[in-house]
Structure 1
Amino acid sequence: MLQLRSIHELSQIPGPVSLAIGVFDGVHLGHQEVIRAAQEHAVQHHGQAVVMSFDPHPLSVLRPDMMPKRLCGEKLRARLLAEMGVAGTLLCPFTCEVAETSAEEFVRSLVAACRPLGCISVGYTWSFGKNRSGNIHSLMDLGQQHDFAVYGVPPIRLDGEVVSSTLIRDAVTVGDLVRAGALLGRPYSLLGQVIAGRQLARQLGFPTANVRPEAEVLPPFGVYAVQARIADDWRPGIANLGIRPTVESDVVAPALEIHVFDWEGDLYGQDVEVRMGTFLRPEKKFSGVEELLTQIRTDVTRARSLLSA
């Protein structure tokens, strides 16, 4: 998948270019419909679909006090888009200067860069340009002027509610990962790089990998039955999400410590995706290592049973 970092780099894509534009935090069911509309146009017109997003999140520049926590980081989003068959991504820098660009200027820059611009697909309520002056109706007018198609994808509803990143953040925060997965259209997961740990769990007979999650929105701290993606194979395991109060005396950043059943290997430095399954118990501080080890054995037995069912 080709990864672009500026609008002028769109000239590298064989046209017509079908652009899906949005923040796409989480790549949930609604986002997927916006992207599929661009992909379908690309297939019909023998072009290429490109997903265009912004870095940092526009609200971090326009309204920092309203900036939401990220559901997923850039690496997981790129992985999800690649799995959807997206030809390329454009992560456009969002600055104060970009925020001052009018809706017309923004569209003209896309038209000038693409060879040619075939369509723009967005959510129906999307707004853009200085002071959010552009909307789906003005975008359609600009499409007529510059000869590109416009798709305004209506909201997707699930159980009567509009699917949104906000709704998913709320579900994740309270630990309703089944609901979060339904809204995402896939099992809820965290991705992060495996970092060096204290290797205490290895000494106890349960070697673990310490994953530093990309996401800023995390489910409740505790122990979960999980599946970890290793070499494109999903393997069952158990994980502790939190700050490990029994073995850490100082406040540390939250980590996802995973033990993969019946597997040995070195994951240091690798990015590992972990599907978060059944919540087994809250994180707690034990009186010592022996009590912790007894609880780990109990947790592993329960997780194995749940994951084999």
Structure 2
Amino acid sequence: MNVLREAGPIGHPARPVSLAIGVFDGVHRGHAEVVRRTLARAESGGGTAVAVTFDRHPQSVLAPDKAPPMLVPLWRRLEAIEALGLATALVYGFDLEFSRQPAERFIERLRTGFGKLLGITVGTGFVFGHRRSGNLELIERLGRELGFAVEGVPPIEEGGEPISSTRVRERVAAGDFAGAGVLLGRPYSLAGEVVPGDRLGTQLGFPTANLDVTGLALPPAGVYAATAWVDGSRRPAAVNIGWRPTVGRTAGTIRVEAHLPGFAGDLYGRRLELELVRRLRGEVRFESRQALVEQIGRDVAEVREWAGNNGLPSATAGSL
């Protein structure tokens, strides 16, 4: 994906642009419809489609205590948008200074930066600008004054209720991955960069990839069977989400650790995506490390069996 940090001419000579604006947290089916209509306008007008978004949720700056956890990190959000066919994104760093920008100034900033605007597409409930003063009505007024089209996309419904990022978070928090997938329009996944851990998994005989999931919405603590995407291929994974009470590490940040049976390679610093399939058990405090090791062995065996039944490689040895 072509990622921009400020609006500017695209192409030589500059092509007109069709903009989709939003946070796009999770890139669910409602967001996908906004992108689809943005692409359609770009194609019909001989222009370029651009997604305009922010590097974080605005609430994390404006009201941190009320900010929802994000469903995916920024890089995965952009990948999901690109998978819909939109190859250019303008990502603004959202901070207090940016938040004080009047709504009219923000739209003018986009128009003057890109040059000719074919149109702007947003969800009907989209708000922006200082004190949330910008909305669809304001964009429509500016469109009439400045000569660009505006389209507000109403929410898509599922089960009689509008699809929203909040609903997806609720499904994830309940461990309902199938339900989350229905709202997203693709399998739910937990994504993050692999960071160094304390190598406890290696000491126990089950090396793990430790994901940085700071600020992300997480499922209930427990052990899960999952599919891990590594170098474009699918591999089985046994995933632990929790605080590891058996080894006396009950405080601090919750951890997401993935053991990939049979995988030999270094994942540090790489991005890993885990499609959680089902919960095997809750997180348990065992009486000894040996009891923990034995249970992990049973968990991994169950994951291998599941992998074999679903056509995934399930080698019995390997390291991370």
Q: Same fold (TM over 0.5)?
A: yes
Matched, 1:276 2:259: no
Do 1:20 and 1:120's aligned partners in 2 also have CA atoms closer than 8 Å?
yes
| Deviation digits for residues 197-244 of structure 1 (CA, Å, limit 9, x no counterpart) | 333433444332222225521101110000111001111121111122
Matched, 1:39 2:28: no
> Residues of 1 paired with 2:263 and 2:55: CA distance?
37
What is the DSSP-based 3-state SS (H/G/I as helix, E as strand, rest coil) of the residue aligned with 2:134?
coil
| Deviation digits for residues 118-174 of structure 1 (CA, Å, limit 9, x no counterpart) | 111100122233333332233222212212111111101111111111111111112
Counterpart residue identity of residue 101, structure 2: T
> Residues of 2 paired with 1:264 and 1:258: CA distance?
13
> Residues of 2 paired with 1:224 and 1:101: CA distance?
44
Q: 5+ unaligned residues in a row in structure 1: which ranges? A: none
Q: Which deviates more from structure 2 when the two are superposed, residues 41-50 or residues 199-208?
A: 199-208
Q: Which deviates more from structure 2 when the two are superposed, residues 121-130 or residues 18-27?
A: 121-130
Indicate the residue corresponding to 1:300 in structure 2.
Answer: 300
Counterpart residue identity of residue 232, structure 1: G
Matched, 1:225 2:225: yes
Matched, 1:11 2:9: yes
Matches within 5 A, 1:73-152: 73-152=73-152
Number of equivalences: 307
What is the DSSP-based 3-state SS (H/G/I as helix, E as strand, rest coil) of the residue aligned with 1:268?
coil
> Residues of 2 paired with 1:267 and 1:178: CA distance?
28
State the Cα distance separating 1:305 from its structure 2 match. 2.9
Indicate the residue corresponding to 2:318 in structure 1.
Answer: none
Calculate the TM-score normalised by the size of structure 1. 0.91
State the Cα distance separating 1:272 from its structure 2 match. 0.8
Q: Which deviates more from structure 2 when the two are superposed, residues 56-65 or residues 146-155?
A: 56-65
Do 2:56 and 2:74's aligned partners in 1 also have CA atoms closer than 8 Å?
no
| Deviation digits for residues 1-44 of structure 1 (CA, Å, limit 9, x no counterpart) | 111122xx332454211110011111111111111111111122
Do 1:223 and 1:281's aligned partners in 2 also have CA atoms closer than 8 Å?
yes
| Deviation digits for residues 37-88 of structure 1 (CA, Å, limit 9, x no counterpart) | 1111112222111111124422234434432221211121122122222221
Identity of aligned residues (%): 43
> Residues of 2 paired with 1:213 and 1:131: CA distance?
30
State the Cα distance separating 1:177 from its structure 2 match. 1.6
Structure 1 vs Structure 2 CA RMSD:
2.0
Aligned in 2, Cα 1:232/1:150: closer, same or farther, shift over 3 Å? same
Aligned in 2, Cα 1:74/1:292: closer, same or farther, shift over 3 Å? same
Indicate the residue corresponding to 1:60 in structure 2.
Answer: 60
Counterpart residue identity of residue 220, structure 2: P
Matches within 5 A, 1:197-216: 197-216=197-216
What is the DSSP-based 3-state SS (H/G/I as helix, E as strand, rest coil) of the residue aligned with 1:150?
strand
| Deviation digits for residues 239-260 of structure 1 (CA, Å, limit 9, x no counterpart) | 1111222234462422221111
